[in-house]
Chains A and B, each alone.
Chain A
Amino acid sequence: MKIWTPQSLIAFEEKIAELFNKGEIRAPVHLSDGTEESLIGIFKEVKDEDWIFCSWRSHYQCLLKGVNPEDLESEIVAGRSIALSFSTHNIYSSAIVGGQIPIAVGAAISLQKSKSKGRVWCFIGDMTSETGMAQTAIRYSEKHNLPIIFIVEDNGISVLTETRKVWNSSTLRFEENMNSTVRSFKYTSKYPHAGAGKRVQF
């Protein structure tokens, strides 16, 4: 399996940005930046049998789980960037806010019932972490000792809405009630929420 470095991840995403800006991807893309070192660190713990559940921004996670970069690029160019799934790598993503969360919990229950050694890794953003679904899932998973870890990728905004401002709180609930089920890291990105920073006219 390819060993990814921050530089090689950034280079992959810059290639996708270029393809998008040239109008060669006729579908939305949500590009990653600033999360390289955090995700590389997390994926050192991820095993082949583990499951990965993501949102609409999942290119890095797919690469780090072992998806061939050419296969991933093909899927992105085919217009499937915002809901990437690779069944052979146990990866499922959702373009609906929090959509992957209860599905991840269901997979974790299956693993627990089958006494599998596998774990589930569920990636969510900071705004999503405040939703009722996230709170339900985190609480249920913690109380049932499910083999699942929620990773909050915290850039402080949802599109351009400031998460802590709209909740009128300097802290979010995952920061107030940290437990072994939830991890988080902060980052800033050079890319906008969607696209690659250049208006593309098809």
Chain B
Amino acid sequence: MGAYMDELTRAMNYLGQQQNTIFIGQSVEVAGTAMRNTLLEVTTDKLLELPVEEDFQAGISIGMALSGLVPVSIFPRWNFLLLATNQIVNHLDKLKELTQMDAPGKVIIRTGIGSENPLHPGPQHTGDFTDAFKLMCPHLSVVRLDTKEMIFSEYKRAYERTDGVSSILIEWSDKYID
């Protein structure tokens, strides 16, 4: 098993090999974030760079899921993901109830707790809202990837699950440089 970053790359490669996945967000097609470095082996036809508007991105993810794709929707930090709370709480978390479907489609949300080293970006970039989202989204799988051993299995589980449950997987950015 490789380091934290290596395991993330392995997980993204696995997701990238699945026929119905698509990776969306900012800095998925182009450089700009550390997360982007885990997508370098994913074929470009699976990468969709979006304007920065988090609630728009989250809604797009849901629409893709309803229509047959499995979007891997990337928000580099929890603090940014907060701007997508409307779509996540009011729609994604309620999707099975709203559609009355056992498996209406699923979204894999990838986010992170901002790194504090070597540069500390301050309080607007280092939030961890995992516990709050577990409370607000009882129908989502919200998992913080505390160890590298969790990474591949959790992403694989998020993709393979057949119960229509979407996932929010949270990474520790400080572990990227283990």
Contact B104 A104 (CB under 8 A): no
Whether, in the assembled complex, B99 has its beta carbon less than 8 Å from a beta carbon of chain A, the answer is yes
Q: Could you say which residues of chain A place their CB within 8 Å of the CB of B55?
A: 102, 133
Nearest CB in chain A: distance from B53 CB, A: 6
A136–B68 touching, CB < 8 Å = no
Q: Quick check: is B127 within 8 A (CB to CB) of the other chain?
A: no
A: contact size bracket: 20 to 34
A92 to B65, CA, bound (A): 13
Q: Which A residues are CB-close (under 8 A) to B66?
A: 92, 103, 106-107
User: In B17-32, which residues have CB < 8 Å from any A CB?
Assistant: 22
B73-102 CB mask vs A (1 if < 8 Å, else 0) is 000000000000011001100000011110
B52-79 interface bits toward A, Cβ cutoff 8 Å, 1 = contact, 0 = none? 0101111111111111110100000000
How many A-B residue pairs lie within 8 Å, measured between CB atoms? 81
Q: Given A94-B91, A109-B48, A136-B51, check contact A102 B101 (CB 8 Å).
A: no
Chain B residues 82-135 with CB under 8 Å of chain A are 86-87, 90-91, 98-101, 104
A85 to B101, CA, bound (A): 10
A103 contacts across to B, CB distance below 8 A: 59-60, 62-63, 66, 87, 91
**A interface majority secondary structure:** helix
CA distance A106 to B98 in the complex (A): 17
CB distance from A135 to the nearest CB of B (A): 10
B87 touches A83 (CB 8 A): no
Q: Which residues from B are CB-within-8-Å of A94? A: 90-91
Closest partner residue, chain A, to B65 (CB atom): A106
Give Cα A102 to B57, complex, Å.
7
Binding site for B on A (CB under 8 A): 51, 83, 85, 87, 92, 94, 96, 99, 101-111, 113-114, 133, 136-137, 140
